[in-house]
Chain A
Amino acid sequence: MKGLLPRLIKRILGGIVMILVVASFTFFLIHLIPGNPVEAKLMQLETAGVTPLRAQIEVQAMYGFLPHQPLDIQYIHYIWQILHLNLGQSITYAGVSVTHLLLEAMPWTVITVTSGIIVSFVVGILTGVIIAVYRDRGISNALTLFSTFLHGIPQLILALLLAFLFTTIWPIFPFGSPYDAVLTPGFTLPFIGSLIWHAVLPVAAYAISSYGGWALTMKSSVISVLGDDFILASELRGLKPRIRIGYIARNAILPLFTTLTLSIGFMFGGSVFIEEIFDYRGLGYMLITAVGNLDYPLMAGSFLIITVAVIVANIIADFVYTAIDPRIRT
């Protein structure tokens, strides 16, 4: 309990170090790519008739560093720009800053990924409890089979299947961008409605692909907790069923939080496929676009922002875990 603030500060500092490590990694990755995209861009501008000085200024604006400076100076310059939240300019969307592009795309991915995780976690856990509690009955076997089946389908295939079924065969749900283009973003009913309508398929893809895993993990967790001495004791002490279910649920959900933490990173990784398939303009979509167009600033920026999201999510998950498990606190 005590020392929560120092712990938080420690975790945040650790997170910042991690972010800088990833940023450094992407910096050197760009330098390792054969053909050096920065040099190539400089050459391209110069052959297009831009004066060398002008070309240098443009390239610096784009990448945050100049290719002719020594590597360490370039590196320091790059990190310095990141610390000022300046991620350079996009090549695909010429003249638009990467920070701006990513900030536009980020909410959609965060909303869909988070909703997907919450829906699959809640539904999966409830299914797991039902499977465990009624494990002598037919319903339990049916649910286990169903969950195992869903767990076995790769996310990519599932997303393709959903897109095919619900936007082509039965076009019930819209395809593409996070909301209807005619609407202006804001807290208006049509806008939020449109947002939800567009998010249904991506969220369903995230949720269905991870639901089976939660159900099966929760099932075994509940069964193991049901065999614990204190659960038998609570029955023989005549505790009310409501209170006993609370005891079982809290103890069974606990080990799943570790998996939840890991799944956050996995889900953000999955957004690359899912947003591409549904043409949903979020971070994953940005990353694919950047890769396709050799847009290195946008690529580096996307990597960085996904890293930040995963690290922040992990810190939050870690603190939630601390709040629900007293054994971690002492």
Chain B
Amino acid sequence: MSAKLTDRSQQDFGLSPEVACQVRDLNVTYRVDGRELSALREVSLDIRQGQITAVIGESGSGKSTLALALMNAVSSPGRIASGRVTYRGLGEVTGMRGEELRRIRGKAISMVFQASQNSMNPLTRIGAQLLDLARSHDLPNPRAVLREAGDLASRMSLDADRVLTSYQHQLSGGMRQRVGIIFGLVLKPEILLMDEPTTALDVLSQSSVLEIVRSIQRERQLTTVLITHDMGVVAELADRVVVLYAGRVVEEASTAELLRHPRHPYTRSLIQAIPRLTGDPGDAKALEGQPPSLASVPNQGCVFRERCPYRMDVCETILPSFRFDGDGEHRFACHYEEARHD
């Protein structure tokens, strides 16, 4: 058993060296009133080793579903209809079930939840829950996990002893969110998924927590996926950005490139919607209209056309395919941009 596992950890499963996780043609559907509605459509991604990849999109764009799919944790009524998620050293999680999947979750791949402040058992002390976590993954020395958690707590300017002996209700919302991050980091995962990790924090503690996450990520060369709706957080933290709209990837580039030369009209409006600290807050422009719901996503043509200022006839019928730019590091799917540059 252990020999087999060691073998696995050396395998790359056909991934190129800089890629930690490969997503191919991922389709996730939810069954609502007897109809299969798509939450993610043909999503393909390479999540790079040791980098922070941000996935940005509005609510309903499928970004939380993507986070769950990365752990093969889409639960009923949803399901992964097709596609693969493969990790270096772990294999294809989309083909795993039961005990095999449980051993990976929380250990090799860990997640910081959107509602992190409610991610602890209210009836058990934080320290005891960390021990539960350690024992679940058969660590030889569960107590070492408490020490590690204490160190992380101190780094996040929490009183380590107090936090470990506390119950959830004795901590403030911001403290709990940080404890949620500690749970995500304490077993030293290879991949960290963070779903809106700082939504419950005020602006000041948000930036300090993000700074700590960033420094731990650098130290450990931790491959991180950051799910967010906040372009400001992306600019501060991410190495690469994937823009998701109505369950489809519409643009992907390095953060610097994306902020400087956004190509997709949706990405541009996201950037324009960031309010500046200096200058007129009225300069920030909100994007008109609502994103489509699962049921109203058009089945053909461009998914963004309803809100697009550059809408053309071709957008109604033909799905734009990806165009690559800048050494193939920047991709986008837009008929208008394609036409403009040809």
Contact = CB atoms under 8 A, between A and B. Distances in A.
**Physical interaction between A and B:** yes
Interface of A: 228-230, 232-240, 243, 247, 250-251, 254, 324-327, 330
Contacts of B121: 230, 234, 247, 250-251
Contacts of B147: none
A233 B119 contact: yes
B170 A237 contact: no
A229 B168 CA distance: 13
A236 B119 CA distance: 10
A24 B6 CA distance: 78
Interface of B: 71, 73, 102-107, 110-111, 113, 115, 118-125, 132-133, 135-137, 167, 169-170, 183
Most buried by B among A235, A236, A238, A247: A238
A229 B106 contact: no
Overall SS of chain A's interface: helix
A47 B103 CA distance: 90
Given A230-B121, A238-B106, A238-B136, 4 more contacts: A236-B73, A239-B133, A326-B122, A327-B169
Contacts of B106: 236-239
Nearest to B138: A240
B105 A243 contact: no
A229 B113 contact: yes
A229 B135 CA distance: 21
A238 to B, nearest CB: 4
Most buried by B among A228, A237, A247, A325: A237
Contacts of A233: 113, 119-120, 183
A243 B135 contact: yes
A238 B135 CA distance: 10
A327 B136 contact: no
B275 to A, nearest CB: 30
A239 to B, nearest CB: 5
B170 A243 contact: no
A250 B105 contact: no
A48 B327 CA distance: 120
A80 B120 CA distance: 54
A104 to B, nearest CB: 42
A230 B136 contact: no
Contacts, number: 71
21 contacts: A229-B115, A229-B118, A229-B119, A230-B118, A230-B122, A233-B120, A233-B183, A236-B71, A236-B73, A238-B103, A238-B104, A238-B106, A239-B133, A240-B135, A243-B135, A247-B123, A254-B123, A325-B123, A326-B122, A326-B123, A326-B125
Contacts of B120: 230, 233
Contact of A239 (B118, B132, B167): B132
A168 to B, nearest CB: 49
Given A236-B73, A237-B106, A238-B102, A326 B119 contact: no
A158 B132 CA distance: 45
B136 A237 contact: yes
A237 B132 CA distance: 10
Contacts of A326: 122-123, 125, 167, 169
A230 B73 CA distance: 15
B312 to A, nearest CB: 43
A243 B113 CA distance: 20
A237 B133 contact: yes
A324 B183 CA distance: 24
Contacts of A228: 118
A37 B105 CA distance: 76
A240 B73 CA distance: 16
Contacts of A330: 167, 169-170
A237 B111 CA distance: 7
A254 B124 CA distance: 13
B123 to A, nearest CB: 5
A11 to B, nearest CB: 23
A237 B169 contact: no
B227 to A, nearest CB: 14
Contacts of B115: 229
Most buried by B among A230, A250, A254, A325: A230
Nearest to B184: A237
A238 B123 CA distance: 19
A48 B183 CA distance: 85
A234 to B, nearest CB: 7
B121 to A, nearest CB: 5
Contact of B132 (A229, A243, A325): A243
A121 to B, nearest CB: 19
A238 B119 contact: no
Contact of B136 (A232, A243, A254): A243
A250 B124 CA distance: 10
A236 B105 contact: yes
Nearest to A326: B167
B105 to A, nearest CB: 4
A238 B118 contact: no
Contacts of B136: 237-240, 243
B173 to A, nearest CB: 13
Contacts of A325: 123
Contacts of A236: 71, 73, 105-106, 111, 113
B133 A327 contact: no
B183 A237 contact: yes
A325 B136 CA distance: 24
A239 B107 CA distance: 10
Contacts of A243: 132, 135-136
A238 B105 contact: yes
